Amino acid sequence: MIDALLVLLAGVLAFIFGWNNSSLLIGNIRASGSLGAKGAVAVSVIGLLAGAAIEGPKMLKSLNGSVAYSSPEIGLAITLGLAVAFTVGLTFLKLPATFSGIMVGSFLGAAVALRLAVNGGQVLLIVSFWFIAPLIAGFIAFALHRATSTLLTSVSVVGVDSFNRLAIVGTSFAVAFVLGANNVGLMAGTAAGGGAGGQGAMVAVGLALVAALGAVTLGKGHVSDTIGDRMLSLSPQGVFAVFAGAAIAVIIGTQLQVPMSIGESVLGGMFGSAYSQRTTVINRRVASLALGMWIVTPLMAFATGYILAAV
């Protein structure tokens, strides 16, 4: 019974996740005009599935089996249930939802309330990597943006246009891949109780399909827009640098079993990309809001998870 509930909650969460990240998964390609609607959907679906199938299994034990060694199913249900509630609430409020932060916070809160043995070293790694990842993404974005600006100087307008097209499709695939690997893998692991072997991987692939469905059916790109479009304006090469930097930061986190929010890395990448140019205008109020939400949300999820598990 509770197993079915976990899978159902994970399915709902995956659907909302797809909706929440639709502008990253599909919006970039569609808005840029690089590909038509079918092509954009195909890139994101293939990316999500490939990420979930190839790298997703590395994230299966990133909470249950890593942060705490064996959580009872009620702890996992609280984690998934709160993730659904927080993500829906923040999405409707058009606020950036740090999906992985909510899951880690609520899982940890429930684990502490249930008096489980918590792996302090892994918690420290996760929290510290949340701060390091934007710096990594920012550094990569800075270097990539500088490099592309320099290398493309002698390339024709059409050549630059072609590069932009390729870069947007490539980075959109990369973003879908890392979201499938890290976030869908995290959801699958939580739903499968740390899901050993093939079962967890199958759940990950199934959830990736559900996430793609969420992105296609409900996605209009509102939430990710609040972070990116309102914060600063970037050229296509800037967008490429940001998403490449963010994707690399998330894939590094995946190797370390760290649940990651790509939004944090995108924010870091945006600063890196923006500061690689001579003139930069950044909406600091929006940046501060995003940063504040990413610190406050896991803490709120921790407190709520603790209270629910204690009750």
**Least separation in angstroms between CB 226 and another protein:** 21
State which residue, 32 or 119, has the beta carbon closest to another protein.
32
State which residue, 279 or 311, has the beta carbon closest to another protein.
279
Q: Is 130 exposed, middle or buried, given 0-12, 13-18 or 19+ CB atoms closer than 10 A? A: buried
Residue 3 is a binding residue for another protein (CB under 8 A): no
The interface with another protein within residues 51-110 (CB under 8 A) comprises: none
**Least separation in angstroms between CB 273 and another protein:** 10
The interface with another protein within residues 18-37 (CB under 8 A) comprises: 32-34
**Least separation in angstroms between CB 18 and another protein:** 25
State which residue, 119 or 149, has the beta carbon closest to another protein.
149
Entry field: residues in the chain = 311
- Judged by CB under 8 A, the stretch of 16-24, 150-158, 219-227, 297-305 that binds another protein is 150-158
Q: Distance from CA of residue 184 to its chain's centroid?
A: 9
**Least separation in angstroms between CB 286 and another protein:** 21
**Least separation in angstroms between CB 266 and another protein:** 18
Tokens of 113: 């309330």
**Least separation in angstroms between CB 150 and another protein:** 10
E-strand spans in 209-307?
none
| Torsion, Cα of 116, 119, 123, 126 (10° steps) | -120
The whole-angstrom separation of Cα 217 and Cα 90 is 19
Q: Which three-class secondary structure state does DSSP give residue 68?
A: strand
Residue 210 and residue 77 in contact, taking contact as beta carbons nearer than 8 Å: no
State which residue, 168 or 187, has the beta carbon closest to another protein.
168
| Torsion, Cα of 52, 53, 58, 60 (10° steps) | 70
The whole-angstrom separation of Cα 162 and Cα 206 is 34
The interface with another protein within residues 229-288 (CB under 8 A) comprises: 235-238, 277
Q: Which residues pair with 64 in a beta bridge?
A: 68
Binds another protein by CB under 8 A, chosen from 4, 117, 157, 311: 157
The whole-angstrom separation of Cα 35 and Cα 28 is 10
Binds another protein by CB under 8 A, chosen from 115, 117, 120, 153: 153
Residue 164 is a binding residue for another protein (CB under 8 A): yes
**Interacting residues toward another protein by CB under 8 A:** 32-34, 149, 152-166, 168, 235-238, 277
